[in-house]
């Protein structure tokens, strides 16, 4: 079968389309014929640590959707021909394996491209906003780098939860597009200069939850923008700034909480623990149309390098999707 692989070095990446054997599902796994898979910046950006050791090759594609065509031993509740989506390893392939503990049935209302945009980005958003962020209706949330795939997912989920959302971006056009999706306050900036505007927008209260998709360059400013007993989630560092000053006085006096969001070191059991709540609380919002993934662009299967280049250039809003092989 056709499968995209990537070599990561300390300074660059290389993609290669290979012919590899068809994977066989193990116990508790589904094999799907992939219909669409979406890109995630953390898999490609240097320093994120999601790509394995420097100098090693790996199959790429962290989330995919497709038609179940084989069942591993002990699998129950799934049938051949079912529509499934989930996190995976090697989603940019003709076939991929999904663990049933993380696999989800695709709601009938969703296209393949939309389904492929949910399992990782929206599960991360659910982790940030609900499981760790404890976001409540009426609270203010700040998203730095709101136009990314995870940023847009957080915006949409935050609005569904009843929060008021502030977003930063270096593109006025992207902000205007996201205001149409419910962004309450748009701050046109890439610089760490937004705290005063956040405080003004929130009546000097500050943001109860901050989602930092940018990195260390905006960390200190994010702390200054936080409310009393605010929470800050660090989910990316596209600026490649991995260290930042921490104002211990503010952390102490304002009773702040700072946490990371990553699946890098989590076990399968830890990753799958949140799936039942996601299925109960979030997936119905996709089924009834209240949530809809924002697809930036869909690329043919053989154009992964072009799709990756668009993502790395920061030209997208929402998710970039790779189609199935012809």
Six-digit token string for 7: 């070599």
Clarify whether residues 254 and 192 are in a common domain. yes
Predicted pLDDT of residue 129 = 98
Clarify whether residues 191 and 312 are in a common domain. no
Clarify whether residues 102 and 48 are in a common domain. yes
Number of residues assigned to the chain: 326
When divided into structural domains, the chain yields a total of 2
Clarify whether residues 225 and 176 are in a common domain. yes
Full residue range of the structural domain in which residue 156 is found: 124-260
Six-digit token string for 53: 């050791």
Predicted pLDDT of residue 45 = 67
Predicted pLDDT of residue 54 = 61
Among the candidates 260, 292, 307, a domain finishes at 260
Clarify whether residues 107 and 27 are in a common domain. yes
pTM: 0.92
* Extended strands (E) in the chain: 2-8, 13-19, 29-38, 57-59, 63-71, 83-87, 95-99, 104-105, 140-144, 164-169, 185-188, 207-212, 226-234, 257-260, 295-299, 319-323
Q: Enumerate residues 6+ apart whose C-beta is below 8 A from 103.
A: 30, 78, 84, 85, 86
Among the candidates 260, 281, 314, a domain finishes at 260
Predicted pLDDT of residue 59 = 93
Q: Enumerate residues 6+ apart whose C-beta is below 8 A from 76.
A: none
Clarify whether residues 187 and 85 are in a common domain. no
Q: Residue 178: give its domain's CATH number.
A: 3.90.180.10
Predicted pLDDT of residue 53 = 62
The per-residue pLDDT string of the chain (326 residues; one tens digit each, 9 = 90 and over) reads 999 999 877 677 889 999 999 999 999 999 999 999 999 988 876 555 444 566 678 899 999 999 999 999 999 999 999 999 999 999 999 999 999 999 999 999 999 999 999 999 999 999 999 999 999 999 999 999 999 999 999 999 999 999 999 999 999 999 999 999 999 999 999 999 999 999 999 999 999 999 999 999 999 999 999 999 999 999 988 888 989 999 999 999 999 999 999 877 788 888 889 999 999 999 999 999 999 999 999 999 999 999 999 998 888 999 999 999 87
CA within 13 Å, CB half, 275: 18
- Least Cα distance to 94 among 36, 158, 168 occurs for 36
Q: Cα–Cα distance between 126 and 35 in angstroms, integer?
A: 24
């Amino acid at each position: 079968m056709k499968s995209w692989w990537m070599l990561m070095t300390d300074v660059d990446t290389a993609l290669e389309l290979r012919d590899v054997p068809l994977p066989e599902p193990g116990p508790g796994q589904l094999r799907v014929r992939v219909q669409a898979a979406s890109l995630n910046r953390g898999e490609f950006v240097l320093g994120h640590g999601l790509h394995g050791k420097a100098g090693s090759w790996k199959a790429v594609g962290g989330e995919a959707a497709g038609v179940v065509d084989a069942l591993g031993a002990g699998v129950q509740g799934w049938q051949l021909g079912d529509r499934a989506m989930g996190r995976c390893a090697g989603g940019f392939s003709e076939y991929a394996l999904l663990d049933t503990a993380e696999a989800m049935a695709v709601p009938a209302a969703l296209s393949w491209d939309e389904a492929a945009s949910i399992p990782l980005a929206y599960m991360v958003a659910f982790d940030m906003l609900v499981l760790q962020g404890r976001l409540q209706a009426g609270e203010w949330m700040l998203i730095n780098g709101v136009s990314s795939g995870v940023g847009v997912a957080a915006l949409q989920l935050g609005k569904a939860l009843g929060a008021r959302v502030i977003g930063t971006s270096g593109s006025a056009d992207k902000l205007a597009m996201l205001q149409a999706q419910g962004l309450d306050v748009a701050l046109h900036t890439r610089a760490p200069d937004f705290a005063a505007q956040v405080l003004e927008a929130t009546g000097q209260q500050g943001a109860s939850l901050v989602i930092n998709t940018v990195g260390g360059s905006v960390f200190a400013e994010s702390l200054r923008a936080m409310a009393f007993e605010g929470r800050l989630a660090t989910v990316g560092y596209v600026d490649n700034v991995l260290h930042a000053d921490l104002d211990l006085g503010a952390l102490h006096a304002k009773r702040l909480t700072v946490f990371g969001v990553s699946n890098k070191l989590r076990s399968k059991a830890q990753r799958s623990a949140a799936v039942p709540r996601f299925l109960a609380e979030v997936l119905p919002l996709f089924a009834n149309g209240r949530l809809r993934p924002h697809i930036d662009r869909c690329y043919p299967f053989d154009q992964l390098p072009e799709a990756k280049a668009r993502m790395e250039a920061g030209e997208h809003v929402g998710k970039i999707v790779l189609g199935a092989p012809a």
